[in-house]
Amino acid sequence: MKRIFISIYLWIACIAVLFAQSSYKLVWSDEFNQDGLLDTAVWNYEGGFARNEELQWYQPDNAYCKGGYLIIEALQEKRLNPNYLEGSKDWRTSREFIECTSSSVTTAGKKEFLYGRIEIRARIPVGKGAWPAIWLLGRSMEWPSCGEIDIMEFYRKQGVPHILANAAWGTDQRWAAKWNSKAIPFDYFLSKNSDWASEFHVWRMDWDEEAICLYLDDELLNKILLKDTYNGIIGERRNPFMQPHYLLLNLAIGGVNGGDVSSEAFPMRYEIDYVRVYQK
């Protein structure tokens, strides 16, 4: 009798999973099947030195579609920084030279989403200094009160490679974030698959009115409850994860989290097979 109850329970659980999956409908995707630059009706290219004191100079040429993939490359390229100002204290203008280039692309103002499932299949670079990411920002308020969701980050923490799944929101202090962060040592994934870095993997976010769940190859890495994510005074005590967000895909180099960079790691290549957005 016990076996019968267990079998019935498993059958019901399987039906529930299948029903939950079937309730999602594809609302937008980019399969990157057209060779060349990205569709600018959907994607924006960031330019120059962007954030976090990173080394790369962002430019459109380093992101292109080929063979069904979006390829973001980081290259060693030394040239003059056109924004250089002698004596400047700003890291963006105090650097006389650009040391490397890469790309960051966003859907801001063009494709923005509130709730649903986002899936990205990608192969990431893991060389020293690489900081690839799949993330989202809310369309209103300044950071971090706009809300940030990091479906994937890879970088070294105290020299040790980690994969991260995070969310951040505002506090009572301007530009000071409250974080819910999970950092998993990269060795955890290598112990299960020594070829992990050479293969494609699927990152997924399931997001609804109650929680943000972040997955890697169907393994839950982090669950963020929205009851805990209200902004402080700066963000008017609103919940930033109850507003539309836009997507960012970028390959940063070095900076405050990327750490030391190895010249042997260049060229770095971040390959995205597809981006798919589903909603109920």
Active site members: 148, 153
Q: Do 138 and 247 meet the contact criterion of CB atoms below 8 Å apart? A: no
Kind and range of the H or E run holding 154? strand 148-157
Taking residue 73's Cβ as centre, other Cβ atoms within 10 Å add up to 19
DSSP class per residue in 38-105 = --TTT-EE--B--STT-SEEE-GGGEEEETTEEEEEEEEEEEE-TT--TT--SHHHH-SEEEEEE-EE
Cα distance between residue 107 and residue 123, in whole Å = 20
Round to whole Å and give the CA distance between 34 and 70. 10
Q: Kindly write down the DSSP assignment for every residue of 112-138, as one continuous string.
A: EESSEEEEEEEE---STTEEEEEEEEE
Omega before residue 267 within 30° of 0, cis: yes
Fill in the amino acid letter for 24: Y
Give the CA distances from residue 132 to residues 101, 164, 239, 268, in Å, rounded to whole numbers and listed in that order.
14, 11, 27, 10
What distance in Å separates the CA atoms of residue 182 and residue 163, rounded to the nearest whole number? 8
Spatial distance between the Cα atoms of 102 and 268, rounded to a whole number of angstroms: 9
